[in-house]
Amino acid sequence: MSPEEWTYLVVLLISIPIGFLFKKAGPGLKKWGAAAVGLGLTLFTCGPHTLHSLVTILGTWALIQAQPCSCHALALAWTFSYLLFFRALSLLGLPTPTPFTNAVQLLLTLKLVSLASEVQDLHVAQRKEMAAGFSKGPSLGLLPDVPSLMETLSYSYCYVGIMTDYRQTARSSATAPTGLAGAALPVAVPSLRPMLRRAWPAPLFGLLFLLSSHLFPLEAVREDAFYARPLPARLFYNDPRLLRFRMRFYVAWITAECGCIAAGFGAYPVAAKARAGGGPTLQCPPPSSPEKAASLEYDYETIRNIDCYNTDFCVRVRDGMRYWNMTVQWWLAQYIYKNAPARSYVFRSAWTMLLSAYWHGLHPGYYLSFLTIPLCLAAEGRLESALRGRLSPRGRELWDWAHWFLKMRAYDYMCMGFVLLSLGDTLRYWASVYFCIHVLALLALGLGLALGPSLSSVLNELPSAATLRFRGPGVLPWGALEEKEDRQRSIQAFAESAPKEMQEPCPSRELPWPMQARRAHRQRHARDQVAQGSGSRTAHWALLLRRSKEKVREGLRTVQPWAWTLKRIGGQFGAGTESYFSLLRFLLLLNALASVLTICMILLPTWLEGAPPGPPAPNASSLCGFYNPRPQGLVAFATQLFNLLSGEGFLEWSPLFYGFYPPRPHLAITYLCSAFAIGLLYLLLILHRSVSGLKQTLLAESGALTSYSHRVFSAWDFGLSGEVHVRLRQRIIHYELQVELEEAVVRRRAAVRTLGQEATVWLVRLLLNLLVFALLGAAFYGVYWATGATVELQERPLVQEMPLLKLVVDYLPSIFISMVNFVLPPVFSLIAPLEGYTRSRQIVFILLRTVFLRLASLVVLLLSLWNQITCAGDADAVACKTCGYNYKELPCWETRLGQEMYKLLLFDLLTGLAVILLIQFPRKTQEFQVPDEVLGLIYAQTVVWVGSFFCPLLPLLNTAKFLLLFYLKKLTLFSTCSPASRTFRASTVNFFFPLVLLLGLAISAVPVLYSIFLIPPSKLCGPFRGQSSIWAEIPNSICTLPQTVQNFLFFLGTQAFAVPLLLISSILMAYTVALANSYGRLISELKHQIETEAQNKVFLAQRAVALSSANGTL
């Protein structure tokens, strides 16, 4: 055992006699004495690092006092963000915290999030009582009042649970019969006997821990000799490692529980049905006398953290998770799992495991182990539902034993990642056993999907569906049978008399018939197939393909994240606001997919071919100068912080930027191919989204003929159930009709304008557009000036000597662009209503001007950088003549370009957070500005598209940014925003937003492609050093292929292939345009016919009214 483990055990053992002393003390001494003991233990073990826990507590308390209605989410973001800072201290040059500080910080994070959640529940209950006009008194599971600062410190530093995995909620601490927050009849609650019953297996577990640690050391797995052993020896070596791992935690948790039992902490009557971590689930009145208290039976389920027997001998992985670290599992289920962004059990579990790994630490082994659990859960769930129910009782018993064996092997497998910690050691061991658990889990999942029922049939087996099937009218009356037979005959006749063209090409479910008629059609079709044979193989495969597509579509709908959140936003704030969050989710998906491709095609090949070489030597030089990205010597904390914000220093030579990657042929090819693959993926997904929104846009813009009928007759979803869903759908339809009515009013006003009024409107529009162009021109000149001034100011000695001033100078273009983007869009929003357009047209103009401002500002910045890199395109300039680029100022120009995009992304995130916290929250009630927010997303995504080639991990950073932004915007929306007073139709944004995204993608492709084809790569950094251009690596690689492949690939680049391809494309395009025009003319004729029929009906109605009036007069 290490010295830290001995110290930890001594602290746990000391808490047992202290507990017996505190059990008989008064309420005040218990409350403050326990906090004093906990603070003393923290100071003794952590020393000055206790400051971290104090800062965390004070920050959480301030959030509780400032925003009690949303303090849970804020506390979760604050404590988990501080964990990241806490673990990055060594990178920032600060003292590394001790393991005890890490334990205190971890448990304090969970306790403070629980406290904030309980305060939020109390705030909601108080608001409901105020709305009802009366108070119901204290309720089960609620705090009596918002805790003060001293009460928060007392709860946080209570010695029980300060370093163990026990955390009782604040409300449980306040209501326990002998809790440390208050004492009620402490003598009546037993402590000694329950503690002895709980402690008896601890010595045995400790002995097993010492033996397994001595006989099977972990260091052996890191030695090369270990991997020369046979496969069974490697595979089963982790059995004793898992035994050591389990015994270590068993001893620690049992000892911690004994300390709680000694203090009587967490004891509740059995009738209260307490559960681990959550406390009582039923209201149990306190005993009125010591005799009644002594007559009650108590348990300590609230503080129970481990069920050793069930952990080892339960059958399923899912059950083993429930019995292991039970209080932490309860916390994760209560605060993480329930609020996961997905509805699927497997994806919720993956989300929970991801945050659990982050809570444990930043070591890659945690993430590899924890993220293996959802795969095992999905595999065992699918395989069990597909096969176990079909077995006999004896077969099920054998199945359970096999399942238990595989469960323990999965725990062994995942345990190695948890103890080895590093990415290389974990993957090396898993590769030595051929990733057996991953392979088995995938095979089991595939077998379960192939043999198991579809999701719809599983849902049909639910009790609610079963009650629908058996909910019949009861016994049929006399004559009902004959009526039923007549009805069946009529249905059969209806199905048989249907036109052939409606029956044959369509499956039964798509026919516009009653359900029973569709069933009759299906039965008749089956009989025809039997009479004609088994049917054609083409029809069979078509049926399988259609069913596969339906299953895939059904699965995608199931795993779609935040679906309910978007529906709620659309029902409460309108379709425009919903479209913003839908676009944010879409961009989050794009960046996540790009991050996966980057990791698979760039990062993994880099490390699999060997460790990348370090940066160039400081004294190394060449014809293109020298490059020293990582200065030697001690670096102050302030400098490290500035490097983190600017991308220089330790970040400049890291996997974050282009210059880090070595010049290996295979890596260069995968690097370049990843850029094209990611760009193609972006293009296809955005085009798919644009086309799906185009249908709605054409329908909405087709005129007043269908604007109301489409919503009145087609908008309602008859599959809705539940009052909440019905209300949301009603609100959505209300907003859509409101938009149509507002725009109809504007169109009627425009139709009755006189010639003078029309001329005045156009003159005002002309003047306002001149003002807009003047503002845009000033903004672009300012960006160009800021970029040029940055280069000049960076060379001044005063700037070099002051790190803060240097950081401001480095961020000068980003600051100016953000300032322009912050000031001018509100001005455009004020100008647009003065032009006399409809609401949708105003939104389009605001979006066009804002996107032109944001994207053109980025273009000006890129042009300024292009001037610096290529000497304004002058290849004969002195600075660019030798190497083809300005090697004196920019020895690694690709990394410099990536740093600029990195700073733009980071500054955009910081300004967004500042606006939310310093402007939107203090302002309270406001409207959600959809155009500005959407263009902010598109601008940020365009920055990522420009910089992802030069900063490969930029999509990964943007994924984290968008994920944080989603929850912050959602919190801002529901906390501080009200529904918009003027709405606009969703069709405008469903097509226009992806169209602007395509524009941003096209703009970002220009500098990337220009850099690939025309600018020489840097000679001192990057995978393409030594090449005349980045693209030159492709022809060089093709020349190494067989001659036949070379001829084919080079043929694709000749005119003999390009000209026929162009001709075929032109013919197909002409055919498509002609077909579209014919459809358009047909639609126009049908509309004209409908309008004529409507006019005829109006005329006939008027004639009927006139004749009836004439008859009445006569």
- Residue range 3-18, pLDDT digits in tens: 777 777 787 778 888 8
Instruction: Identify which has the larger pLDDT, 506 or 160.
Output: 160
Q: What amino acid occupies position 172?
A: S
Answer whether residue 252 shows pLDDT above 50. yes
More confident residue, 906 or 232: 906
Gap between the Cα atoms of 148 and 182, Å rounded:
16
Contact status, residue 164 vs residue 107, Cβ threshold 8 Å: yes
Selection from 141, 179, 118, 119 nearest residue 303 by Cα: 179
870 vs 873: CA distance, rounded Å: 5
Assign 279 to helix, strand or coil: strand
Helix, strand or coil, per DSSP, at residue 126: helix
Q: Looking at residue 534, what is its pLDDT?
A: 46
The winner for highest mean pLDDT among 362-366, 624-628, 696-700, 1083-1087 is 362-366
CB atoms within 10 A of CB 814: 24
Interior CA angle at 467 toward 463 and 472, to 5°? 170
Alpha-carbon distance of 953 to 594, in angstroms, equals: 9
pLDDT of amino acid 375: 87
Q: Give mean pLDDT, residues 371-384.
A: 85
3-state SS class at 929: coil
Cα separation, 620 vs 894, in Å, equals: 20
> In angstroms, rounded to a whole number, what is the distance separating the alpha carbons of residues 699 and 429?
58
β-strands 298-299, 268-269 pairing: antiparallel
Q: What is the pLDDT of residue 1073?
A: 79
Q: What is the pLDDT of residues 79-110, one digit of tens each?
A: 888 888 887 776 666 677 888 888 888 888 88
pLDDT of residue 1039: 82
Rounded-to-integer distance, Cα 211 and Cα 234, Å: 19
Answer yes or no: are the C-beta atoms of 350 and 592 closer than 8 Å: no
User: What was the pLDDT predicted at 1080?
Assistant: 74
Share of the chain above pLDDT 70, in %: 77
Cβ proximity of 202 and 250 under 8 Å: yes
Phi, psi of 269 (to 5 degrees): -60, 145
What confidence score (pLDDT) does residue 959 get? 92
pLDDT band at 565 (very low <50, low <70, confident <90, very high): confident
CA geometry: angle 580, 584, 590, nearest 5 deg: 145
Of 776, 999, 1002, 1016, nearest to 894 by C-alpha is 1016
DSSP 1016: P
Provide φ and ψ at 650, rounded to 5°. -65, -20
The Cα 579–Cα 692 span in angstroms is 14
State the pLDDT at residue 593: 92
Print burial letters for 349-365: b (CB count within 10 Å at least 16), e (below 16). bbbbbbbbbbbbeebbb
* Per-residue confidence (pLDDT) for residue 152, from 0 to 100: 85
Find, among 773, 856, 857, the residue nearest to 816 by Cα: 857
Q: Name every residue whose Cβ is closer than 8 Å to that of residue 1022 and which is 6 or more positions away in sequence.
A: 658, 659, 661, 663, 892, 894, 895
pLDDT tens-digit series, residues 130-178: 655 544 444 555 677 788 888 888 888 887 777 655 445 545 454 444 4
Please determine, for residue 524, whether its predicted confidence score (pLDDT) is greater than 50. yes
**Which DSSP helix (H) or strand (E) runs through 101?**
helix 99-132
Nearest to 772 by CA among 856, 702, 876, 880: 856
Query: What DSSP line would sit under 748-804, residue for residue?
Result: HHHHT--HHHHHHHHHHHHHHHHHHHHHHHHHHHHHHHHHHHHHHHHTSHHHHH-HH
- Spatial separation of the C-alpha atoms in residues 648 and 809, rounded to whole Å: 14
Helix (H) or strand (E) run with residue 16 in it: helix 3-23
Q: What is the mean pLDDT of residues 424-436?
A: 85
Can you count the helices (H) and strands (E) in the chain?
Answer: 49, 4
From its phi and psi, is residue 532 left (phi > 0), alpha (psi between -120 and 50) or beta? alpha
Highest-confidence range of 554-558, 766-770, 922-926, by mean pLDDT? Answer: 766-770
What's the average model confidence in pLDDT over 928-953?
Answer: 86
Range name among 182-186, 715-719, 929-933 with the lowest pLDDT average:
182-186
Say how far apart CA 372 and CA 410 lie, in whole Å: 9
pTM value?
Answer: 0.53
Supply angle C-alpha 952, 956, 961, rounded to 5.
Answer: 130
**pLDDT on residue 622:** 67
| Domain boundaries, given as residue ranges, for the chain | 343-452, 498-559, 577-616+630-754+856-1026, 1039-1114
Q: Which residues contact 595 (CB under 8 A, 6 or more apart)?
A: 953, 955, 956, 959
The predicted structure's pLDDT at residue 910: 86
Which pLDDT belongs to residue 531? 54
Assign 473 a pLDDT band (cuts: 50, 70, 90).
very low
CB 1010 within 8 A of CB 885: no
Q: Give me the pLDDT at residue 210, please.
A: 83
Rounded average pLDDT over 62-74: 80
Most confident of 342-356, 453-467, 938-952: 938-952
Confidence (pLDDT) at 720: 58
What was the pLDDT predicted at 1096? Answer: 84
Q: What number is the average pLDDT over the span 1010-1026?
A: 86
Residue with tokens 């492949």: 1045
Distance CA 365, CA 362 (A): 9
Spatial CA neighbour of 829 closest among 815, 849, 858, 812? 849
- pLDDT class of 426 with cuts at 50, 70, 90: confident
d(CA 581, CA 588): 10
Q: What is the mean pLDDT of residues 723-739?
A: 71
Indicate the average pLDDT of the chain. Answer: 76
Q: Which residues contact 33 (CB under 8 A, 6 or more apart)?
A: 22, 25
Residue type, 323: Y
- pLDDT for the residue numbered 954: 92
CB atoms within 10 A of CB 334: 16
Q: Any bridge partners for residue 926, and if so which?
A: 977
* Residue 620: predicted pLDDT: 59
Average pLDDT over every residue of 434-454: 80
300 CB burial (10 A radius; 0-12, 13-18, 19+):
buried
Query: pLDDT digits over 663-716, tens only?
Result: 887 888 889 889 999 999 998 888 888 776 555 555 555 554 455 666 676 667
Mean pLDDT of 864-874: 80
Instruction: Determine if residue 434 is left, alpha or beta; phi over 0 gives left, psi from -120 to 50 gives alpha, anything else beta.
Output: left
Tell me the average pLDDT across 482-501. Answer: 46
Confidence label for 457 from pLDDT (cuts 50, 70 and 90): very low
Q: Give per-residue pLDDT as tens, 217-243.
A: 777 777 778 788 888 888 777 778 778
Assign residue 325 a region (left: φ > 0; alpha: ψ between -120 and 50; beta: otherwise): left
3-state SS, one letter per residue, for 678-724 = HHHHHHHHHHHHHHHHHHHHHHHCCCHHHHCHHHHHHCCCCCCCCHH
Say yes or no to pLDDT of 988 above 70: no
Do 155 and 181 form a contact (C-beta atoms < 8 A)? yes
Q: How many residues does the chain have?
A: 1114
Q: Which three-class secondary structure state does DSSP give residue 342?
A: coil
Return the exposure string of 202-238: e unless at least 16 CB atoms fall within 10 Å of the residue's CB, then b: beebbebbeebbeebeeeebeeeebeeeeeeebbebb
The pLDDT value recorded for residue 227 is 80
297-345 residue pLDDT tens = 888 888 888 888 888 888 888 888 888 888 888 888 888 887 776 666 6
Q: Which of 44-48, 151-155, 732-736, 912-916 has the lowest average pLDDT?
A: 732-736
- H-helix or E-strand containing 997? helix 986-1013
By percentage, how much of the chain surpasses pLDDT 90?
Answer: 2
CB contact at 8 A, 886 and 868: yes
Question: Is 533's pLDDT higher than 70?
Answer: no
CA 321 – CA 334 distance, rounded (Å): 15
Kindly state the average pLDDT of the residues 108-126: 83
